[in-house]
Amino acid sequence: MQLKTHRIISWLAMLALATGVLSGGCAIQSAEKKTAPAPETEPQGEQPSEVEAKPPANSYYYYIEAQLQRRRGHIDAAIEYLEAAVSADPSAVYLKKELVVLYLHKKNYQKALEIAEKILDTEPKSPDILIMKASILRALDSKADIIPIYEKVLSIDPKRQQVYNILGKLYMDAGKLDKAAEVFRQMLEHFPEAYVGYFYLGKIHAEKDNFKKAESEFKKTIELTPSLNQPRWELIKLYKAKNMGQKVIALYEAILERNPDNAVAAIELSLAYYEHFKTQAADELLSDLGRRSVDQPGIIRTVIQRLIFKERYDEALTVLQGMLAGAPNHPGLHYAKGVVYYSLDKNEKARSAFDAVTPESSFYPNAAIHRAIISYQQKKLDQAVDVLQGALETVDDEEKVKIIPYLSSFYKEEGELDAAEALLKKGLKIEPKNTELCFELGVLYDKKGRTDAAIEQMKRVIELDPDHADALNYLGYTYADQGIHLEKAEELVRKALKHKPENGYIIDSLGWVYYKKGVFEKAAEYIEKAARLIPDDPVVLEHLGDVYDKLGKPQKALDTYQRALEKKAENADSLESKIEALRENGL
Q: Closest Cα partner for 8 from 55, 66, 62, 70? A: 55
SS3 content of the chain, % helix, strand, coil (to 5): 75, 0, 25
Q: Closest Cα partner for 360 from 395, 390, 332? A: 395
Q: Which residues, 6+ apart, have CB-to-CB distance to 234 below 8 Å?
A: 199, 202, 203, 206, 214, 218
Confidence (pLDDT) at 112: 92
What is the Cα–Cα distance from 163 to 123, expressed in whole angstroms?
19
Confidence (pLDDT) at 234: 97
Q: Closest Cα partner for 152 from 178, 128, 181? A: 128
CB of 193 within 8 A of CB of 224? yes
Q: Please, where are the H alpha helices in 465-519?
A: 469-482, 486-499, 504-517
| Identity at 473, one-letter amino acid code | N
How many CB atoms lie under 10 A from the CB of residue 186? 16
Confidence (pLDDT) at 164: 97
How many CB atoms lie under 10 A from the CB of residue 314? 11
What is the Cα–Cα distance from 322 to 293, expressed in whole angstroms?
12
Structural domains in the chain, CATH included, are 1-106 (1.25.40), 535-587 (no CATH)
Confidence (pLDDT) at 49: 34
Burial class of residue 489 (count of CB atoms within 10 Å of its CB; 0-12, 13-18, 19+): buried
- Rounded to 5°, the CA angle 70-73-79 comes to 45
Each residue's pLDDT expressed in tens, for the chain with a length of 587 residues: 444 333 333 322 332 323 333 333 333 333 333 333 333 333 333 333 333 333 345 788 899 999 999 999 999 999 999 999 999 998 888 899 999 999 999 999 999 999 999 999 999 999 999 999 999 998 888 877 899 999 999 999 999 999 999 999 999 999 999 999 999 999 999 999 999 999 999 999 999 999 999 999 999 999 999 999 999 999 999 999 999 999 999 999 999 999 999 999 999 999 999 999 999 999 999 999 999 999 998 999 999 999 999 999 999 999 999 999 999 999 999 999 999 999 999 999 999 999 999 999 999 999 999 999 999 999 999 999 999 999 999 999 989 999 999 999 999 999 999 999 999 999 999 999 999 999 999 999 999 999 999 999 999 999 999 999 999 999 999 999 999 999 999 999 999 999 999 999 999 999 999 999 999 999 999 999 999 999 999 999 999 999 999 999 999 999 999 999 988 767 788 888 998 988 887 76
CB of 464 within 8 A of CB of 434? no
CB of 66 within 8 A of CB of 85? yes
Number of helices and strands in the chain (H, E): 33, 0
Q: SS3 letters for 147-205?
A: HHHHHHHHHHCCCCHHHHHHHHHHHHHCCCHHHHHHHHHHHHHHCCCCHHHHHHHHHHH
The beta-carbon contacts of 553-561 under 8 Å, at least 24 apart in sequence, are: 554/582, 554/585, 554/587, 555/587, 557/582, 558/582, 558/583, 558/587
- 3-state SS assignment for residue 360: coil
CB of 491 within 8 A of CB of 473? no
Q: Closest Cα partner for 318 from 357, 267, 367, 251? A: 267
